[in-house]
Amino acid sequence: MNLFDYIRPASLDEALSAWEPGAAWLGGGTNLVDLMKTGAMAPGKVIDVTRLPGLDGIESLPDGSTRIGALVRNSTLAHDPDFAADFPMVAEAILSGASGQLRNAATVGGNLVQRTRCAYFQDPWSPCNRRDPGTGCAAIGGETHNHAVIGWSDRCIATNPSDFAVPLAALDAVVEVAGPSGQREIAMAAFHHLPGDTPETETALAPGELIVAIRLPAGARAFRANSRYLKVRERTSFAFALASCAASLRIEDGTIAEARFALGAVAAKPWRVAEAEAMLTAQPPGAALFSQAAERALQDAAPSGENAWKIDLARRTATRALALAAAGTPARMPALPASTFGEPAHA
Amino acid sequence: MPDVIMPRFGSNSGQPTTRRDGIAKVTGTATFAADNQPDRMLHAVYAPATIARGRVTALDTEAALAHPGVVAVYTPWNRPPLAGDPDAKPFMFAFRFEALQSDEVRYSNQPVAFVVAESLEAATEGARLLKPQYEAQPARVGLDGNEPFKPKGDAPFGLPRDFEHGDVAAGHAAADQALDATYETAENYHNAMESHCLVAEWKDGKLELDIPTQAVVLTRGAYAYYFGIAPGDITIRSPYLGGGFGSKAIANGPQILAIMAARELGRPVKLMFRRDQMFGPTGHRGATRQRIRIGIDGDARMTVLDHESLATTSSFDDFIEPAAYASQGLYNAGALRSAFEAVRVDTGTPGPVRAPGEASGSAALESAMDEMAEKAGIDPLDFRLRNYAETEPGTGKPYSSKALRECYAEGAKRFGWEGRPLEPRRMQDADGKLVGWGMGTALFGAPMFAAEARATLLPDGTGLIETAAADMGQGAWTALAQIGAYALGLPLDRVEFRSGHSDLPDGGVAGGSGHTATAGGALHAAGGDAVAKLAGIASADPDSPLFGTGNTGVVARDGWLVAEEDDSRRDSFADIIARNGGAAVVGTGKAARPPEDAARHAMYSHGAVFAEVKVDPELFQVRVTRMVGAFAAGRIINPRLAESQLMGGMIWGISFALHEEALFDKRTGRIVNGDFAGYHIPVNADVTGLEVLTVHEDDPYVNPIGVKGVGEIGISGSVGAIANAIWHATGTRVRRFPIRIEDLLAGA
Q: At the top level of CATH, which class does the domain B285-447+598-746 belong to?
A: alpha beta
The number of beta carbons lying within 10 Å of the beta carbon of residue B182 is: 15
N- to C-terminal Cα distance for chain B?
64
Cα–Cα nearest to B499, from B532, B446, B452, B448: B452
**CATH superfamily to which B33-137+195-240+248-278 belongs:** Aldehyde oxidase/xanthine dehydrogenase, a/b hammerhead (3.90.1170.50)
Q: Which residues on adjacent β-strands are paired with residue B70?
A: B117
Angle at CA A97, nearest 5°, toward A93 and A103? Answer: 105
> B520-535 in b/e burial notation, b at 16+ Cβ within 10 A?
bbbbbbbbbbbbbbbb
Q: What is the pLDDT of residues B30-51, one digit of tens each?
A: 999 999 999 999 999 999 999 9
B325 close to B622: Cβ distance less than 8 angstroms:
no
Q: For residue A313, tell me if it sits in a domain.
A: yes
Which of B273, B618, B656, B680 to mutate: most A Cβ within 10 Å?
B618
Cα–Cα nearest to B592, from B533, B530, B524: B524
CA distance linking residue B525 with residue B728, whole number of Å? 50
Q: For residue A92, tell me if it sits in a domain.
A: no
Side-chain-side CA neighbours of B584 within 13 Å: the count stands at: 13
Q: Over chain A, what is the mean pLDDT?
A: 96
Task: Kindly determine whether residue B683 and residue A236, on different chains, have CB atoms separated by under 8 Å.
Answer: yes
CA distance linking residue A323 with residue A318, whole number of Å? 9
Which of B431, B434, B621, B668 to mutate: most A Cβ within 10 Å?
B621
**Where do the domains of chain B lie?**
22-30+448-592, 33-137+195-240+248-278, 285-447+598-746
Task: For the sheet with B434-445, list strands across it.
Answer: B427-428, B434-445, B604-615, B622-632, B690-694
Task: For the sheet with B206-210, list strands across it.
Answer: B70-74, B111-117, B42-48, B269-272, B197-203, B206-210, B234-237
pLDDT at A225 over 60: yes
Give the CA radius of gyration of chain A: 19
Task: Kindly determine whether residue A236 and residue B276, on different chains, have CB atoms separated by under 8 Å.
Answer: no
N- to C-terminal Cα distance for chain A?
46
Give the CA radius of gyration of chain B: 27
Task: Kindly determine whether residue A39 and residue B128, on different chains, have CB atoms separated by under 8 Å.
Answer: yes
B367 close to B332: Cβ distance less than 8 angstroms:
no
**What CATH number does the domain containing A26 carry?**
3.30.43.10
Q: What is the pLDDT at residue B155?
A: 60
Q: What is the ipTM of this complex?
A: 0.97
B118 touches chain A (CB under 8 A): no
CA distance linking residue B207 with residue B202, whole number of Å? 5
The 8-class DSSP code of residue B593 comes to -
Range of the domain at A275: 223-327
Instruction: Specify burial of residue B52 (Cβ count, 10 A radius: 0-12, 13-18, 19+).
Output: buried
E-strand stretches of B110-205: 111-117, 133-136, 148-149, 163-165, 177-185, 188-189, 197-203
Q: What is the pLDDT at residue A1?
A: 79
B496's enclosing H/E stretch is strand B495-498
Q: Which of A1, A123, A232 sits opposite B121 (nearest CB)?
A: A1
B368's enclosing H/E stretch is helix B358-376
Instruction: Indicate the pairing of strand A45-48 with strand A5-7.
Output: parallel
How far is residue B706 from each of residues B446, B524, B638, B700, measured CA to CA in Å?
11, 11, 13, 6
**What CATH number does the domain containing A289 carry?**
3.30.390.50
B682 touches chain A (CB under 8 A): yes
In the predicted model, residues of chain B with pLDDT beneath 50 are: 1-11
Question: Would you name the residues of B annotated as active-site residues?
Answer: 712
Q: What is the pLDDT of residues A228-283, one digit of tens each?
A: 999 999 999 999 999 999 999 999 999 999 999 999 999 999 999 999 999 999 99
The set of residues, in sequence order, having a beta carbon less than 8 Å from that of B593 and lying 6+ positions away, is B447, B448, B703
Cα–Cα nearest to B268, from B40, B35, B73: B40
Phi-psi region of B128 (alpha: psi -120 to 50; beta: other; left: phi over 0): alpha
The set of residues, in sequence order, having a beta carbon less than 8 Å from that of A19 and lying 6+ positions away, is A47, A180, A207, A208, A210
Q: Which of A120, A142, A235 sits opposite B682 (nearest CB)?
A: A235
Q: What is the pLDDT of residues B725-735, one digit of tens each?
A: 999 999 999 99
- Give the CATH fold of the B22-30+448-592 domain: Aldehyde Oxidoreductase; domain 4 (3.30.365)
A149 close to A307: Cβ distance less than 8 angstroms:
yes
Instruction: Specify burial of residue A347 (Cβ count, 10 A radius: 0-12, 13-18, 19+).
Output: exposed
Q: What is the pLDDT of residues A284-334, one digit of tens each?
A: 999 999 999 999 999 999 999 999 999 999 999 999 999 999 999 999 999
B130 close to B47: Cβ distance less than 8 angstroms:
yes
Side-chain-side CA neighbours of B569 within 13 Å: the count stands at: 18
Interval A22-46 mean pLDDT: 96
CA distance linking residue B309 with residue B715, whole number of Å? 19
B433 touches chain A (CB under 8 A): yes
Contact residues, chain B, for A234 at CB < 8 Å: 658-659, 680, 740-741
Q: What is the pLDDT at residue B553?
A: 85
How far is residue B306 from each of residues B291, B292, B339, B668, measured CA to CA in Å?
8, 6, 8, 36
Q: For residue A255, tell me if it sits in a domain.
A: yes
Fold match, B22-30+448-592 / B33-137+195-240+248-278: no
Q: For residue A178, tell me if it sits in a domain.
A: no
- What is residue A72's three-state secondary structure? coil
H-helix segments, B58-143: 61-66, 120-129
Q: Which residues on adjacent β-strands are paired with residue B74?
A: B114
Q: Which of A1, A117, A239 sits opposite B125 (nearest CB)?
A: A1
Q: How many domains does chain A have?
A: 2
B125 touches chain A (CB under 8 A): yes
Q: What is the pLDDT at residue B2?
A: 33
- What is residue B117's three-state secondary structure? strand
Contact residues, chain A, for B659 at CB < 8 Å: 234-235
pLDDT at A344 over 70: no
Side-chain-side CA neighbours of A75 within 13 Å: the count stands at: 10
B678 touches chain A (CB under 8 A): yes
B486 close to B543: Cβ distance less than 8 angstroms:
no
The number of beta carbons lying within 10 Å of the beta carbon of residue B541 is: 17
% helix / strand / coil in chain A, to the nearest 5? 30, 20, 50
Contact residues, chain A, for B619 at CB < 8 Å: 232, 313, 316-317, 320, 340
Instruction: Indicate the pairing of strand A255-264 with strand A271-272.
Output: antiparallel
Contact residues, chain A, for B616 at CB < 8 Å: 340-341
B430 touches chain A (CB under 8 A): no
Q: Which of A120, A313, A344 sits opposite B745 (nearest CB)?
A: A313
CA distance linking residue B681 with residue B560, whole number of Å? 50
CA distance linking residue B331 with residue A61, whole number of Å? 73
- What is residue A32's three-state secondary structure? helix
- What is residue B426's three-state secondary structure? coil
The 8-class DSSP code of residue B634 comes to B
Question: DSSP secondary structure string, B272-322?
Answer: E--GGGGSSTT-EEPPEEEEEEEEE-TTS-EEEEEEEEEEEEESS------
Amino acid at B688: T
B603 close to B708: Cβ distance less than 8 angstroms:
yes
How far is residue B658 from each of residues A321, B625, B661, B735, measured CA to CA in Å?
24, 13, 9, 12
Cα–Cα nearest to B176, from B302, B327, B75: B302
Q: What is the pLDDT at residue A343?
A: 59
Contact residues, chain A, for B745 at CB < 8 Å: 309, 312-313
Question: DSSP secondary structure string, B530-585?
Answer: HHHHHHHHHHT-TTSTTTT--TTSEEEETTEEEESS-TT-EEEHHHHHHHTTS--E
Phi-psi region of B156 (alpha: psi -120 to 50; beta: other; left: phi over 0): alpha
A324 close to A342: Cβ distance less than 8 angstroms:
no
Please state the length of chain B.
748
Q: What is the pLDDT at residue B627?
A: 98
CA distance linking residue B271 with residue B118, whole number of Å? 12
Task: Kindly determine whether residue A313 and residue B124, on different chains, have CB atoms separated by under 8 Å.
Answer: no
